[in-house]
Structure 1
């Protein structure tokens, strides 16, 4: 049997995460877990729990230009306070975690 030794640092969570659900619609909008972007946010994860792909990118993102997150998949972002915008071809639910 071969063993693998991992080296490096382990990131720690310094504050309680905020989680929430949002509907991604047909107009690009910034999404976040709570009522507003988490102050001091370092990380955001978006899980597509709907039946359609959602697309992310800058404020001008469209379903033709955005990066897709397929149903059942998730995407992690090391975004700090940078806004990330989402759009879909029809209303679609996602879950968000910020820390």
Structure 2
């Protein structure tokens, strides 16, 4: 199990991007959250298998999201646990 932390740049606030991300994450069986940041980015934190996390990243980068994604900066770490479901914050 791993943890993905991704900062998503673009037009991703006020366009349903967090809801869209939540839907994809739940379909993939991931736990975590998507949160608006003050600078206009969205922070996505998700835990699951590397294959599940890679699938979420591929969908975020697909051009099929709500809004417009210009850049995704991601890091992977060991899962920490403590996340339940996938929430919009």
Please give the range of the TM-score, normalised by the shorter of the 2 chains.
0.3 to 0.5
Structure of larger gyration radius: 1
- Could you tell me the TM-score, scaled by structure 1's length? 0.34
Relative contact order, higher structure (CA 8 A, sep 6+): 2
* Greater helix share, structure number: 2
TM-score normalised per structure 2: 0.36
